[in-house]
C-alpha cells in the first residue's frame, strides 16, 4: 500500500478536525453534557463558527494562530470534558451532517461579542492615547 503524502495527511487531519468541531457543537446541545462542558463547548464552537475572527487573518502569522492553535486546543479540551458516550453519538451525527453536505453552522452572537471586544479595545487605546498626548501638555 502506498504511503500518504504530507498533503494527504494534512487534508485528513483537517477533515478530522471538522468532524470533531461539529461533534463538540452537537455535544453542547446534548442534555447529557455537563454544564461546564457545555459552556466551554459553546465558547469554542461559537468562536470557530463565528464569521469574524478575534485576530483577523490578514495580520501576518498571528492572524492564523487562532485557527491553527487556539481552536484545535479548545476542541481537545472540550473532548476531555464531554462524556465519552456523548462524543461517540455526536461524532456519528457530525459525519452524517458532513455527508449530507449541510452548511456549517454560524454563530452571529459570537460575532457580535468579538466586535464588542474590538470596540472596547479600540476605546481603551484611544483613551490612553488621548491621555498621553492631549492631556499631558
Which set of grid coordinates corresponds to residue 130? 488621548
Is residue 71 included in any domain, yes or no? yes
Domain of 43? 6-107
Q: Is residue 76 part of a domain?
A: yes
Return averaged pLDDT per consecutive 10 residues of the chain, 137 residues in all.
72 80 92 94 84 73 78 92 95 88 68 79 84 69
For residue 13, the model assigns a pLDDT of 76
Residue 113 in any domain: the answer is: no
70 in a structural domain:
yes
Quickly list DSSP for the chain. Answer: -PPPPHHHHHHHHHHHHHHHHHHHHHHHT-TTS-HHHHHHHHHHHHHHH-SS-SS-TTSTTHHHHIIIIIHHHHHHHHHHHS-HHHHHHHHHHHHHHHHTTPPPP--HHHHHHHHHHHHHHHHHHHHHHHHHHTTT-
Model's pTM, two decimal places?
0.67
Looking at residue 3, its pLDDT comes to: 75
Amino acid at each position: 500500500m502506498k504511503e500518504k503524502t504530507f498533503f494527504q495527511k494534512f487534508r485528513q487531519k483537517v477533515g478530522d478536525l471538522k468532524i470533531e468541531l461539529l461533534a463538540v457543537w452537537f455535544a453542547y446541545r446534548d442534555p447529557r453534557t455537563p454544564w461546564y462542558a457545555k459552556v466551554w463547548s459553546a465558547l469554542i464552537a461559537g468562536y470557530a463558527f463565528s464569521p469574524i475572527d478575534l485576530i483577523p487573518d490578514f495580520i501576518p502569522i498571528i492572524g492564523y494562530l487562532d485557527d491553527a492553535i487556539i481552536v484545535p486546543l479548545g476542541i481537545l479540551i472540550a473532548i476531555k470534558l464531554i462524556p465519552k458516550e456523548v462524543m461517540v453519538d455526536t461524532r456519528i451525527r457530525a459525519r452524517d451532517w458532513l455527508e449530507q453536505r449541510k452548511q456549517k453552522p454560524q454563530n452571529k452572537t459570537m460575532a457580535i461579542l468579538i466586535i464588542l471586544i474590538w470596540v472596547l479595545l479600540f476605546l481603551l487605546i484611544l483613551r490612553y492615547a488621548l491621555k498621553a498626548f492631549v492631556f499631558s501638555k
